[in-house]
Amino acid sequence: MFWKRTPSKPISKSSNGLYRHGNEELIHVKQVVKSFDTAAGKFHALKSVDLRVDGGEFLAVIGKSGSGKSTLINMIAGIDRPTAGEVLVGDTAVHKLNEGQMAVWRGKNLGIVFQFFQLLPTLTLVENIMLPMDFCNMYKSSERRKRAMRLLEQMDMTEHANKLPAAISGGQQQRVAIARALANDPPILLADEPTGNLDSKTADSMFTLFENLVKQGKTILMVTHDIDLSKRVTRAVQIVDGEIIETQLAKTFPVLTHAQLVALTHNVDPEKFQPGQIILRQGEPVERFHVIVKGLVEIIITAPSGEEKIVARMKGGEYFGEIELLSGGTSRATARAAGESIVEVLRFDRPAFDTMIAQSPELKTSITRVMQERVAENVSARGGASQ
């Protein structure tokens, strides 16, 4: 079903590891507020939302109807503009573009998949896919139809190329909508409830397609209310009444209030580590707390003889770094990404950690208990001699 292709060219950072406007991540929604005037007064759809998405991530934004999730995706797409705050995508300050600049930028950098497909009813399927290429003057005129046909082949829809949208099923229309979103080979795909009108089997097929696109180098941000589908993405955040919460933080620290989780989310720094990569090295200063989102992390101690010993294997929902942040000193062990898959972690600095435990005595008690157990295990693993 999938033809081999060269991965999309990433939007490159400068030599200092930042994009032109200072954003470290590919997408940074920075303190965005969106307000609407209604008969009942101002309605705040987004409330100081801060969201960062790195290149190659598959991020799900989960929320109920009216929570602000579609408004958020419209901010990134430039379909709507923030009342306050910034929307940075690569080197572009999206919120500063005029309408003409916005249309060109969007056509070349974003592929958008809508819940209701939005194929033009008077154009054939292949013509619908060619339209973004025509609009942005991408590829030679002679190549556009060939490219559109290759995209239809990727979606297993070649035999329907010359049909009108009304002649095919909803699931087939969504496949064509995804092909159209890929027409200009954009590095980023935004999908707003892309499986909302599909049966479960077709929705699963669509999701598998998205997973393959991420493997090919795409960055995907998907809005959904489907909790089951959201479990398969790289990372998930929840949006509640216009405020963002990292889903893994809510699961790991259930005693924190909504307001505390929102504040903590504002300070989170998502990071990815390749298998075998060192996350934290024994003997080095520790200034960050780490919560594992996905993957396996080995905790290793090095004996005076130089021999390494794995003392623990940690998975999603577990955390490390609390011993040094609470009791001081350098790292007592090395944390290394293990297994064959990329390890995803959420990291936040010492001030954010200190604030978190200061605001929740119950959480401080829980983390302190875990710390004491780990210190005892560490001493035992070293043969009774503490560091």
How far is Cα 332 from Cα 302, in angstroms, rounded to an integer? 9
Average pLDDT, the chain: 88
Q: Confidence class of residue 10 from pLDDT cuts 50, 70 and 90?
A: low
Which is the CATH superfamily of the domain at 264-381?
Answer: Jelly Rolls (2.60.120.10)
CB 335 within 8 A of CB 311: no
Tokens 């298998």 -> residue: 275
CB 221 within 8 A of CB 53: yes
For the chain, the helix, strand and coil percentages under 3-state DSSP, each to the nearest 5: 35, 25, 35
Share of the chain above pLDDT 90, in %: 56
Q: Is the pTM of this model over 0.85?
A: no
CB 134 within 8 A of CB 117: no
Helix (H) or strand (E) holding 280: strand 278-280
Q: In this predicted model, what pLDDT tens digit does every residue of 207-236 receive, in sequence order?
A: 888 888 898 889 999 998 777 776 788 888
Q: Where are the beta strands (DSSP E) in 145-199?
A: 188-192
CB 28 within 8 A of CB 219: no
Q: In this predicted model, what pLDDT tens digit does every residue of 53-112 receive, in sequence order?
A: 989 899 999 988 888 888 999 999 999 999 999 999 999 999 999 998 998 899 889 999
Q: Confidence class of residue 387 from pLDDT cuts 50, 70 and 90?
A: very low
27-241 shares its CATH topology with 264-381: no
How do the domains of the chain map onto residue ranges? 27-241, 264-381
How far is Cα 241 from Cα 305, in angstroms, rounded to an integer? 56
Q: What is the pLDDT of residue 11?
A: 65
CB 374 within 8 A of CB 311: no
Cβ-in-10-Å burial (0-12, 13-18, 19+) of 359 comes to middle
Note the Cα 357 to chain centre separation in Å.
Answer: 26
Instruction: Look at the chain and count its residues.
Output: 387
Helix (H, G, I), strand (E, B) or coil at 49: strand
Helix (H, G, I), strand (E, B) or coil at 126: helix
CATH C-level class of 27-241: alpha beta
